[in-house]
Chains A and B, each alone.
Chain A
Amino acid sequence: MKILTGNDLRSGAVTWWNGSGWSLFVDDAVDVGDASNGSEGAEEILAREQAARRVNAAYAIEASIDASGHVRPAHIKDRVRALGPTVRRDLGVTTADKTGWDWVI
């Protein structure tokens, strides 16, 4: 699947496209890979959202959904972005996914 991520313009916080807005939680990310059914493609969403300043430095990445239904970015860099610094978990994103840190590295 293809998902969209970027940083909030004001706070810089990592955000994920959830279909109608930007969420702090990677599990909220939705697949934007299939534009064949007439829905917006990644490029259109990125252009619109960045122009509206709802996100900054946004881009599309590959991801998958694991057996528990959690969204897993493919690249290690985006996995680290999803939860926060592995060395300061106290400062990372609080998530209901208890296995979250297990898949980052």
Chain B
Amino acid sequence: MYRYDQYDQAMVDARVEEFRDQARRRLEGKLTEDQFKPLRLMNGLYLQLHAYMLRVAIPYGTLDARQMEMLSHIADKYDRGYGHFTTRQNIQYNWIKLEDAADILADLATVEMHAIQTSGNCIRNISSDHFAGAAADEVVDPRPYAELMRQWSSFHPEFTYLPRKFKIAVIASEKDRAAMRLHDIGVRIIKRDGEVGAQFYAGGGMGRTPMIAPMIRDFVPLDQFITYAEACLRVYNRYGRRDNKYKARIKILVHELGAAEYIRQVEEEFAHMLTVGVEPPREELARIAEYFAPPAFVDGPKTVDRSDPDFALWVDRNTHRHKHDAYVSAVISLKPAGGIPGDATSEQMRIVAKLAREYSFDELRVMHTQNLLLPHVRIADLHAVWTALDEAGLGAANMDTIEDIIACPGLDYCSLANARSIPLAQRISERFAETGRTEVVGELKLKISGCINACGHHHAGHIGILGVDKKGKENFQLSLGGSEAEDVSLAKITGPGFDEDGVVAAVEKVTDVYLASRTEGERFLDTYRRIGMEPFKEALYD
């Protein structure tokens, strides 16, 4: 994985000291909250319902054991013994003190981590396929391209005050495991006639106006990769709306201009930028790529002993095919039935770090599904890994099932939320686990957001739930048919909302319709697409 060079480290260290001074001045009354707020947000420090919240960037979700141990240390020393992994492959701490914030950033800097650009109207953490570097189906490892974009976008002087926040995802396979087309810019690294290049999508997003990004260029040569991205951002920065924050995302610009006109303007800017010479030298990409060279895989057994049914189920559910046939990628579920999606204790973080060191070439990933991943596990070691995970409460075999729920922090933590998300996730996962229906239902992606900002990706859920405030009471809108994968689609609302008990029952009714209607091997999403909304509405409202 990438290691900081002297410039990276110097920039991060300088930012820590800059923030230390800013925080000191705030505490001494030399800065008002209005003056300080944009400064703390630039360093990922929010003020949430109960305390300050710090969001730490995990670039493209990749980290090593010592970094995970630092995250554990921070949870213990400065927070309350846990952290929350997010849908953008970051981690958030919920109980931070302002007077500790600079010390936390300094600790993070010692392991090449920071919280820069995890908030504010700038280019945020670049996300990627959590199986990058391991997936059997990838064209190349997308992370060198994500890292190049990270370096380009970090402290970019022109893009520090964009009309609104800006999220980029980079993948390199036909399968989309990063919700690529629901990002402001989505990049798919492809090979055409043997040449590696980038396919660009722009104008996707969730939030109050969900949109699927159209493709804006089918092939950008690698020696023009950053120049093209720069052109996309320049057009947005120039014409994105600044008069209305709800219309300020690039998706609105692309929609209002029309994709063809946005593309025309980007191409015009691109042609201009090619004459300016902003593209980093190809040697820089090559230098970065060296950090992502595959580990020294060795041959070994390709099958496991399936005599333990619990282990066999976990292997079936939570492992993913690896490019080397003696290895798999192993998903560490942060979704125990009745648990809080994405939360991990400091002890669990330490255990995961130890397993990464022992069994996965010192590599870990944070998945946008709020789980963790050991990307390179020898099949021969799987039972030992599973045993250790199970003992730590991390052995749930539920990847991509209805128990593998994405849920934002919701009204339990977030100052923007209108309703609580986590209790719903807890009740639904418990209900399905108790009744044994999880296995019967199979793949079903349920996503819950506590407000229209859609941090819980409800628009992209096979089943989505949106919490709203209805005359001071929590109310939940149910939607069906979304997908953030390569078959991307936006979910449609079923009808009137439900109270908390009602929406849990409604999810069960929806799965009843699915089970009664599915054909052999058909996923929930495919059944919904075949039979449409009506049978579900009849079951819910008649």
Interface residues of A (CB under 8 A from B): 7, 9-14, 50, 53, 56-57, 74-77, 80-81, 84-88, 91, 105
Asked whether B27 is an interface residue with its Cβ less than 8 Å from the other chain, the reply is yes
15 interchain pairs (CB within 8 A)?
A7-B51, A9-B27, A9-B98, A10-B99, A12-B95, A12-B97, A14-B49, A14-B50, A14-B51, A76-B473, A77-B417, A80-B412, A86-B423, A87-B426, A91-B80
Asked whether B472 is an interface residue with its Cβ less than 8 Å from the other chain, the reply is yes
Q: Chain B nearest CB: distance from A26 CB in Å?
A: 13
Interface centre among B50, B96, B97, B474 (most CB of A within 10 A): B50
Q: Are A53 and B27 in contact (CB under 8 A)?
A: yes
Residue of A12, A13, A53, A84 touching B29 (CB-CB under 8 A): A53
Q: Chain B nearest CB: distance from A10 CB in Å?
A: 5
Which partner residue on chain B sits nearest A75 by CB separation?
B472
Chain B stretch 226-285: residues in CB contact (< 8 A) with chain A: none
Q: Are A80 and B51 in contact (CB under 8 A)?
A: no
A77: B residues at CB distance < 8 A: 49, 411, 415, 417
Which partner residue on chain A sits nearest B81 by CB separation?
A91
Report if A11-B98 is in contact (Cβ < 8 Å); known contacts: A85-B413, A88-B412. yes
Interface centre among B51, B80, B423 (most CB of A within 10 A): B51
Report if A86-B33 is in contact (Cβ < 8 Å); known contacts: A7-B47, A14-B49, A14-B50. no
Residue of A7, A14, A85 touching B412 (CB-CB under 8 A): A85
A91: B residues at CB distance < 8 A: 80, 95
A14: B residues at CB distance < 8 A: 49-51
Q: Are B51 and A11 in contact (CB under 8 A)?
A: yes
Q: Chain A nearest CB: distance from B338 CB in Å?
A: 10
Q: Chain A nearest CB: distance from B334 CB in Å?
A: 14
A57: B residues at CB distance < 8 A: 33, 47
Indicate with 1 or 0, residue by residue over B408-426, a CB within 8 angstroms of chain A CB atoms: 0001110101001011001
Q: Are A76 and B47 in contact (CB under 8 A)?
A: no
A81: B residues at CB distance < 8 A: 49-50
Question: Taking chain B's interface residues, is the majority helix, strand, or loop, or is none over half, making it mixed?
Answer: mixed
Report the Cα distance A11→B50, complex, angstroms.
Answer: 10
Indicate with 1 or 0, residue by residue over B79-113, a CB within 8 angstroms of chain A CB atoms: 01000000000000011111100000000000000
Report if A11-B412 is in contact (Cβ < 8 Å); known contacts: A76-B472, A84-B50, A87-B340. no
Indicate with 1 or 0, residue by residue over B456-477, a CB within 8 angstroms of chain A CB atoms: 0000000000000100111000
Report the Cα distance A81→B472, complex, angstroms.
Answer: 15
List 18 additional A-B contacts (Cβ < 8 Å) besides A10-B98, A80-B412, A86-B423: A9-B98, A11-B99, A12-B47, A14-B49, A14-B51, A50-B33, A53-B27, A53-B29, A57-B47, A77-B415, A80-B49, A80-B411, A81-B50, A84-B50, A85-B94, A85-B422, A86-B420, A88-B412
Question: Taking chain A's interface residues, is the majority helix, strand, or loop, or is none over half, making it mixed?
Answer: loop
Interface residues of B (CB under 8 A from A): 26-27, 29, 33, 47, 49-52, 80, 94-99, 340, 411-413, 415, 417, 420, 422-423, 426, 469, 472-474
Interface centre among A12, A50, A75, A85 (most CB of B within 10 A): A12
Among all A-B residue pairs, the 4 with the closest Cβ atoms: A12-B51, A85-B412, A12-B52, A87-B422
B98: A residues at CB distance < 8 A: 9-12
B422: A residues at CB distance < 8 A: 85, 87
Q: Chain B nearest CB: distance from A29 CB in Å?
A: 17
B97: A residues at CB distance < 8 A: 10-12
Residue of B80, B96, B412, B474 touching A87 (CB-CB under 8 A): B412
Interface centre among B97, B417, B426, B473 (most CB of A within 10 A): B97
B472: A residues at CB distance < 8 A: 74-76
A74: B residues at CB distance < 8 A: 472
Q: Chain B nearest CB: distance from A25 CB in Å?
A: 14
Residue of A9, A53, A85 touching B50 (CB-CB under 8 A): A85
Which partner residue on chain B sits nearest A10 by CB separation?
B99
B51: A residues at CB distance < 8 A: 7, 11-14
Report the Cα distance A7→B426, complex, angstroms.
Answer: 29
Which partner residue on chain A sits nearest B426 by CB separation?
A87
Q: Chain B nearest CB: distance from A12 CB in Å?
A: 4
Report the Cα distance A74→B472, complex, angstroms.
Answer: 8
Q: Chain B nearest CB: distance from A48 CB in Å?
A: 13
Q: Chain B nearest CB: distance from A53 CB in Å?
A: 5
Q: Are A76 and B27 in contact (CB under 8 A)?
A: no
Which partner residue on chain A sits nearest B339 by CB separation?
A87
Q: Are B33 and A56 in contact (CB under 8 A)?
A: yes
Report the Cα distance A42→B148, complex, angstroms.
Answer: 51
Which partner residue on chain A sits nearest B97 by CB separation?
A11
B50: A residues at CB distance < 8 A: 12-14, 81, 84-85
Residue of B26, B27, B412, B469 touching A86 (CB-CB under 8 A): B412
